[in-house]
Amino acid sequence: MSTIVLIHGGWHGAWCWQRVVPLLRNMGHRVIAPDLPGHGSEMTTPASRPYEKYVPCVCNILDAQTDAVVLVGHSSGGAVISAVAEERRLKFSVLVYLTAFLLPSGVMPRSVAQEDRESLLQSYLVVDPEGLTVSVTPEGARRVFYSDCTEDDAAWGTNLLFPEPLISHRAVVPSIPKPRCWQGPRVYIECLQDKALGPTMQRKMYTESPCERVYSLQCGHSPFLSAPQALAACLHEIASVFTTGAPHHPV
């Protein structure tokens, strides 16, 4: 049995994994899906800079585990798991980037987003008057996050989205683990119909920061809603390969 820790991306919360969690548990895995600070039911206020608490939150979860975990980050959650890798490199067996930011040191997610010509996200962002949070319009959520979901699923997800705390320009930028610090494998799961983080940008990131394996899903940005079985199958295979001592073959 493997322990799989699922880290959500921006605007989302632990709720986004609720279809994937039971599938993985039925496959024999232990699954942990937390709300990051300031998301879902975790009510840290935007003024309290919740983004500074993301990495400590995940580190605390890893510290409570007796075995190395499979650590999964979706979207901006990729930057979080990269930063965690610097702090707890012996606490997991593999990092999994699910259509996620996989960034070299010093590169800000916002700069990557500005270069992404396939993404529609920037057109639907609204910053609150105090400059503490940024939201996605309902129309934007439907087109960008849930483009291949049913109308009911898209409405459900859109209703649960929460304003994302804006990260200060002075905040420490999470980056990919330095080779001298992190010797374990990375895996990328690309989503080929993604309108939030374009497929070309995903490919650029995992090419410039090579991963042991790359999986491809024919879906949009939210496979946990549109393709939960396919996503669970990927994660199950990754856990089976990278937590059993099986040989790792780079892509």
User: Average pLDDT of each block of 10 consecutive residues along the chain (251 residues)?
Assistant: 95 98 97 96 91 96 94 96 90 96 79 88 95 96 98 98 82 48 81 98 95 97 98 97 57 35
Classify residue 250: in a domain, yes or no. no
Residue bearing tokens 């039925």: 26
Classify residue 207: in a domain, yes or no. yes
Q: Which two tokens stand for residue 126?
A: 């609204």
d(CA 222, CA 105): 26
- Domain with 113, as residue range(s), is 3-242
Q: How many domains does the chain have?
A: 1
* Contact call for residues 51 and 145 (beta carbons, < 8 A): no
Classify residue 73: in a domain, yes or no. yes
Classify residue 19: in a domain, yes or no. yes
Task: For residue 63, count CB atoms less than 10 angstroms from its CB and return exposed for 0-12, middle for 13-18, buried for 19 or more.
Answer: exposed
Classify residue 172: in a domain, yes or no. yes
CATH number at residue 61: 3.40.50.1820
d(CA 50, CA 37): 5
Classify residue 218: in a domain, yes or no. yes
Classify residue 212: in a domain, yes or no. yes
Classify residue 249: in a domain, yes or no. no
d(CA 156, CA 65): 32
The model's pTM is 0.92
